[in-house]
Amino acid sequence: MLEKRRRVVVITGAAGGVGRALLEAFHRDGDIIAAVDLPCTDVVDVTASLGGGHAAFHCDVASEDEVVGLVAAIERRFGRIDVLVNSAGVSARNAPPDWDWERVWDFVMAVNMKGTFLMCKAVVDQMVKQGGGSIVNLSSIYGLVGRPREIGNGLDPYLHSKGGVAQLTRDMAVHFAREGVRVNALCPGFVYTPLTKRLTDDPESLQLLVDKHPMGRLGQPAEIAAAALFLASDEASFVTGACIPVDGGYTAQ
């Protein structure tokens, strides 16, 4: 029996809650990981703790120059890129409180939408050249549906950015399907991560969120990582252009 070839997997936002779960999942699967996050994170330490020949890189995904340099460095080191998982993301809650609405909107769109676009654009040519690859974008339930009045204001850039990620996924999937590049998105419900900590630490808001999920609970990062692992695998070879909810039934209501 032939030994499985170790894939080269690029994960952005690798120091975050879902990002760390992705690192662990692809590490257990035997892949080589290029873990990407901002210099202010502990992505180097997190990656080193796994062992296995992985490498950590610092990059602001909202900067085209940094993204182009990042992808070139990964290609020089590993020779190919088999999987890209775009996990880097922010919400309006990550912006400084003194920013006005326009600056907050630009900040969220720059990381979530533009950053995902730039990474996809920089990686897809390499994937076409090598004969294929898989891209998994992290959208959200709020890339598929609106936020209820009791937990939203109707003008949240997070939703706008994640809707854009879903449409980018579909458009790329159609265009690159015959080149062997599959592009899919995961649309998580609320998950226990640093991004949602301000909400989940408050008992009242936590209960409100739990009640919105038919399963009666929020998700765990490992559950999102498991779905990403499937989409990146050969078992999903006939899946492209899909935006798959991993949401405890939230969008089924």
> What span, in angstroms and rounded, lies between the C-alpha atoms of 148 and 91?
17
Q: 12 with 37: CB under 8 angstroms? A: yes
Which of 35, 75, 74, 78 is CA-nearest to residue 58?
A: 35
Collapsing DSSP to helix, strand or coil, 106 comes out as helix
Residue 179 one-letter amino acid: E
Residue 163 one-letter amino acid: G
Residue 38 one-letter amino acid: L
> What span, in angstroms and rounded, lies between the C-alpha atoms of 68 and 83?
17
Sort 8 into a burial class: Cβ within 10 Å, 0-12 / 13-18 / 19+.
buried
Residue 158 annotated in active site: yes
Catalytic residue among 142, 158, 192, 250: 158
> Which are the catalytic amino acids?
158
